[in-house]
Amino acid sequence: MSEKRYFVSSARAKGIDYDHAERLWLLERRLQRWHERECGDDNGCITEDEDTGRYYWQNAMTGRMVPIADRYTPNVRRVAEIAAKYPDLDFEVNGDPRGWAIHIKSRD
């Protein structure tokens, strides 16, 4: 089973509408990629200036930091908007790129 089918079917099994499950999949992929880039690769990594809250791409070779658009906050906000429609579920954004970026749990 593909990752997308698994994610969407798991979300559907928890009572999430198909359209919301599909949207959560897109958000999951975006957040996953962001978290991977925060950890970095041979080219560099995303860093956040803790004083200003702005994000930068730090080049691994030169150390130069270039401002980049904040693609994290709007995607987390979109997850929260969908989560608000399902008060019986807990949604969590996981920053570890080794697993799913969005965790959905039942409130038992």
User: Comparing C-alpha atoms, which of 38, 41, 43, 47 is closest to residue 67?
Assistant: 47
* Residue 83 near residue 92, CB atoms below 8 Å: no
| pLDDT tens over the chain, length 108 residues | 599 999 999 999 999 999 999 999 999 999 999 999 999 999 999 999 999 999 999 999 999 999 999 999 999 999 999 999 999 999 999 999 999 999 999 886
d(CA 16, CA 8): 9
pLDDT reported for residue 74:
97
pLDDT of residue 1: 58
The model's pTM: 0.90
CA distance 91 to 21: 12
Q: What is the pLDDT at residue 107?
A: 80
- Angle among Cα 29, 30, 31 to the nearest 5 degrees reads 95
